[in-house]
Amino acid sequence: MEDLDRFAQMLEDAQRVVLFTGAGISTESGIPDFRSPGTGLWTKIKPIEFQDFLDSEDVRQESWSRRFSAERTIENAVPNKGHEACARLIESGKATAVITQNIDNLHLESGIPADQIIELHGNSTYAKCLQCEMRYEMADLESQFEATGRVAPCSACGGIIKSATISFGQAMPVEEVRRAEAVTLECDLFVVIGSSLVVFPAADLPVLGKQVGAGLVIVNREPTPLDEIADLVLHREIGPSMSYVVGIN
Ligand code: NAD
């Protein structure tokens, strides 16, 4: 427990913590991550690149078909101890923001105010027209997909509708990246929770934090490329570790 006690002490000493979460925080809610050996989604299914989605109607419909089947796990999931611990740190004022790579909406569902959650890779619980940005609710698109076998173009402008997530090859959301950098520049402790830290530019943020003098803690079952620059690395399970350091059962 020495490492956990050290983590708890680092949290105690810090004034402005930034929490940076990846798919690993949601595996305890039953949502598979991408890269865990054996269970990660990518051991089973190839991701759809943004350009392929734009280029092909068939690829778009394949993506909707996946959304309305495999990703059901996201709709049925509820926040776990890891999310709860993050919410505690935000609520107490110890942490200023959660920067997340996740698209599952579980930080919001755990009670963290929307303005303290920065979603770098968007959100899969709704969709948007890529042209006019009109918002579409998933339940409506799903009914349409079930009835017609497809999701039609935007009713307002004829543009392509896509889940509001950032795909590989798609530009990062400018405002979210700006906010993520701003909170990182202001923090004195940057805590990575459940990310393999191989997706860029998101994985640049812990490095930025270090560059401006913040401490860096990484909580991840497996090693990451940034372990060597971290002040503390916990190769542990997220739920029990985070519960311990914030003092929840
Ligand atoms: P990743 O799959 O690359 O890495 C997840 C890491 O978490 C792995 O290194 C794994 O060892 C670790 N991990 C998993 N469960 C853990 C647990 N219970 N305790 C401790 N460690 C655990 O995920 P990433 O770094 O977030 O990057 C993948 C991309 O996948 C992200 O951009 C994200 O948008 C997307 N994604 C999101 C979800 C989601 O929203 N829940 C799910 C899958 C993928």
Question: What is the Å distance from ligand 1's center to 22 Cα?
Answer: 5
Residues 116 and 196 in one domain: yes
C-alpha 153 to ligand 1 mean position (Å) = 31
The identity of residue 93, as a single letter, is: G
Q: Are 187 and 225 in the same domain?
A: yes
Q: Do 111 and 184 sit in the same domain of this protein?
A: yes
The alpha carbon of 105 and the centre of ligand 1 are apart by a number of angstroms equal to: 14
Domain co-membership, 240 together with 190: yes
> How many angstroms does the Cα of residue 21 sit away from the middle of ligand 1?
8
Range of the domain at 201: 1-30+79-121+172-249
146 with 41, same domain? Answer: yes
Statement to judge: residues 26 and 36 lie in one domain: no
Whichever domain contains 94, its CATH number is 3.40.50.1220
Domain edge (last residue) among 165, 191, 226: 165
- Residue 204's pLDDT is 95
For the chain, the domain total comes to 2
The predicted-structure confidence for 84-135, as pLDDT tens digits, reads as follows 999 999 999 999 999 999 999 999 999 999 999 999 999 988 999 999 999 9
Same domain, 244 and 132: no
Instruction: Produce one character per residue of 63-92: b if its CB has 16 or more CB atoms within 10 Å, e if not.
Output: bbeebbeebeebeebebbbbbbbbbbbbee
pTM over the 0.85 mark: yes
Q: Domain check: are 179 and 237 in the same one?
A: yes
121 given a catalytic annotation: yes
Decide if pLDDT at 75 tops 90: no
Shared domain for 115 and 208, answered yes or no, is: yes
Ligand 1 atom, smallest distance to 42 CA = 2
* 41 shares a domain with 58: yes
Q: What confidence tens digit (pLDDT) does each residue in 142-153 have? A: 999 999 999 999
Considering the domain architecture, whether residues 248 and 155 belong to the same structural domain is answered as no
For all residues of the chain together, what is the average pLDDT? 94
The arithmetic mean of pLDDT across residues 26-37, rounded, is 88
Alpha helices for the chain (secondary structure H): 2-13, 50-55, 57-67, 72-76, 81-91, 106-109, 138-148, 174-186, 204-211, 238-246
The DSSP bridge partners found for residue 234 are: 219
Q: How far apart are the C-alpha atoms of 63 and 78, rounded to whole Å? A: 24
Rg (Cα) of the chain, in Å, rounded?
A: 19
The domain boundary, picked from 103, 137, 165, lies at 165
Q: Supply the CATH number for residue 45's domain.
A: 3.30.1600.10
Ligand 1 site residues (CB inside 6 A) read 22-24, 26-28, 31, 33-36, 40-41, 101-104, 121, 194-196, 199, 220-222, 237-238
pLDDT at 44: 63
Give residue-wise pLDDT tens across range 197-224.
998 888 999 999 999 999 999 999 999 9
- pLDDT for position 41: 66
Boundary of a domain, candidates 105, 140, 165: 165
Q: Which of 19, 20, 26, 34 to mutate to test the pocket of ligand 1 (most atoms within 8 A of CB)?
A: 34
Query: Are 71 and 84 members of one domain?
Result: no
Q: Which residue has the higher pLDDT, 35 or 41?
A: 35
